[in-house]
Chain A
Amino acid sequence: MSVHATTSQTVGPFFKIGLEWLYRDNLIVEGVSGERVTIQGRVLDGDGLPVPDAFVEIWQANAHGKYNHPEDTQDKPLEPGFNGYGRVPTNAEGMFRFNTIKPGPVPGPNGKQQAPHLAVSVFMRGVLRRLVTRMYFPDDERNSGDHILNLVEAARRTTLIAKNTADDPGSLKWNVVLQGPEETVFFDLGL
């Protein structure tokens, strides 16, 4: 006899008191391999206004394309101290920021490798169940063959790919837009 998963509820406006202890905006540990990147963006609502009471979580593989998780049985090295998890709140301007490394490719459907990406969850007051999306990296030729990106209509794929910032190499910009013409693609994982 099976039971059904507990219903999701909003995090509300006051999550900071319970979740701040695990805020992690810097995934880089000393000696970790991989290209350093800074990811900065804003969460924007249906009026284009910043969302000051959201938080963003990321989950990613290391530079070899290996997840620090027992279900990743690939013969690839783990990086000591690199967990792959980050959590940051937005500030009064709706901004969030992570320092991390660009992950390597991981296996995907049809036996093909996926383009490097972050798995992203977004939570906030007003959102009753978490928003699931991905962030991909700019100018990566592997994006064009990525199975998940190709499930998204071409015109909306750009919402999943971070942009370079002209003056600062390694500094990426990626917004989470909740509504409107630039609305970020959110995924259905069944939840």
Chain B
Amino acid sequence: MNRIAGYRPPLPGTQPNHLHHPYVSSIKRAPTKPLVPIPYTLSEVTGPTFGTEIVAPKASDLTHGRSGEPLGERIIVSGRVFDEDNRPLANTLVEIWQANAAGRYLHEVDQHQAPLDPNFTGCGRAITDAEGRYRFLTIRPGEYPWRNHYNSWRPAHIHFSLFGPAFATRLVTQMYFPGDPLLSFDPIFNCTADEEARSRLISVFDWESTLPEHALGYRFDIVLRGRDATPMEE
């Protein structure tokens, strides 16, 4: 029989619990019964794959495609996607979405009293190259208020969605910006106990990718789960 090598469990504290009371929306949505541990099977170590043709080359340029330039500060967000063994993950689909410079999403549910930008949709996608690299040209998103608690504001952030090589490696996360004073107040950023793990959600200013007289660069590397070295015993 074939034994299946699974994926390593996370280091304790580096992933959020489902229930995080300060994040009010989790209270009625977090499972209350213990999760049932299951062994890895072919269903979890396979997963959707996408060819590079699924993403248009310009899909990684969020400043492009409208009649004019979006408002706000142009930034480059780039980084590498790799696994816990430091192996680059090539051909991985990366999807991002974000608010505009004024802190408003192009979404019918977002009624924040800040202007929409006719030249900014706030969504992009890319496929990582052979070294696991991705790169987006976008606008620095604005902070915005939400109704979690009195005077609550989300720090500036960009949402990321990644698939990786298997169903087991699927990840949705958020990227933050260095020095944001709102981070310490944010229950979503702070849902993870491990400080070092939280700090890796904060991008770093990157002089290397900064484009002279055009856009500041921020680097955000993303790590997906690594494979168990040996197949699981049953």
Report which A residues bind B (CB closer than 8 A). 1-19, 21-22, 45-47, 49, 51, 53, 57, 59, 61, 67-72, 83-85, 106-111, 114, 117, 119, 121, 123-131, 134, 147-148, 151-152, 156, 178-180, 183-191
Contacts and interface: CB of A to CB of B under 8 A. Distances in A.
B110 A14 contact: yes
Contacts of A7: 14-16, 173, 192, 194, 197-198, 200-201
6 contacts: A7-B192, A46-B32, A67-B42, A125-B29, A126-B27, A190-B8
A19 B97 contact: yes
A59 B224 contact: no
Contacts of B192: 7
Given A5-B84, A130-B172, 17 more contacts: A2-B84, A2-B86, A9-B159, A10-B172, A10-B188, A14-B105, A46-B32, A67-B42, A114-B41, A119-B43, A125-B29, A126-B28, A128-B18, A148-B39, A178-B29, A186-B36, A191-B9
A190 B225 contact: yes
A12 B144 CA distance: 13
| Chain B interface residue number, banded | 35 or more
A3 B223 contact: yes
B163 to A, nearest CB: 9
Given A5-B224, A17-B121, A152-B36, A71 B95 contact: no
B107 A17 contact: yes
In terms of DSSP, what is the predominant structure of the interface of chain B? loop
Contacts of A126: 23, 25-30
Given A14-B97, A107-B41, A2 B226 contact: yes
A19 B45 contact: no
B79 to A, nearest CB: 10
A184 B85 CA distance: 34
Interface in B97-127: 97-99, 105-107, 109-110, 121-125
A53 to B, nearest CB: 7
Interface in B2-61: 2, 6-11, 14-18, 20, 23, 25-33, 35-49
Contacts of B130: none
B18 A188 contact: no
B170 interface: yes
A128 B105 contact: no
Given A17-B123, A107-B2, A9 B188 contact: yes
Interface in B166-180: 166-168, 170-174
Given A4-B11, A17-B107, A71 B166 contact: yes
B122 to A, nearest CB: 6
Interface of B: 1-2, 6-11, 14-18, 20, 23, 25-33, 35-49, 82, 84-86, 95-99, 105-107, 109-110, 121-125, 159, 161, 165-168, 170-174, 188-189, 191-192, 194, 197-198, 200-201, 222-226, 234
A10 B110 CA distance: 17
A11 B96 CA distance: 10
Contacts of A183: 31-33
A114 B106 CA distance: 43
B25 to A, nearest CB: 3
A126 to B, nearest CB: 3
Contact of A189 (B7, B189, B191): B7
A109 B1 CA distance: 9
A191 B109 contact: no
Q: Which 10 residue pairs across A and B have the least CB separation, nearest first?
A: A18-B97, A126-B25, A190-B9, A85-B48, A69-B46, A111-B1, A188-B35, A46-B28, A126-B29, A128-B16
